[in-house]
Amino acid sequence: FPFILVNIGSGVSIVKVDGTDKFERISGSALGGGTFWGLCNLLCPDCKEFSEASCLAVAGDASKLNLLVEDIYGGDYELTGGRKLPGNLVASFFAKAGRGSKERDDAAILNALITMISQNICQIAFLNSRLHS
């Protein structure tokens, strides 16, 4: 103790746990599993089960849809002090959608979607861990 518990359901609850009987909800988000499933139904109507959509997402290549640092700078982006942003870092989710190939790729769509939601949840959890030590 202490730790941050991230409970992902339809939405997300962020709970600070200070002991077995000492905890409080400190934050949350409406962006969660319900968001993923709702958008799955809109974007990939052939997916009938959450588990099917999740498995399809694992097989997808989101770089077909997401704008990456390397798409902007041709590779890694060098920062001051010798650090760099890796070329495969997402600069903008779904920014390539509608460009280039018009062939539908449900696996890529679902991979981009689950990555977007997961990264946002992780960012919210990280920031709350900083705010609440």
pLDDT in tens, 9-21: 999 999 999 999 9
| DSSP assignment of the chain | --EEEEEESSSEEEEEEEETTEEEEEEEES-SHHHHHHHHHHH-TT--SHHHHHHHHHH--GGGTSEEHHHHHSS-EEPGGG-EE-TTSEEETTTTTTSS-----HHHHHHHHHHHHHHHHHHHHHHHHHHT-
pLDDT at 27 (0 to 100): 97
Average of per-residue pLDDT across 41-63: 94
Share of the chain above pLDDT 70, in %: 100
pLDDT at 62 (0 to 100): 96
- Using the predicted structure, report yes or no on whether residue 132 has a pLDDT greater than 80: yes
Average of per-residue pLDDT across 92-118: 92
pLDDT at 104 (0 to 100): 87
pTM of the entire predicted model: 0.90
Q: Taking every pair of C-alpha atoms in the chain, what is the biggest distance, in angstroms?
A: 55
Identify whether the C-beta of residue 15 lies closer than 8 Å to the C-beta of residue 89: no
pLDDT in tens, 65-97: 999 999 999 999 999 999 999 999 999 999 999
Mean pLDDT over the full length of the chain = 95
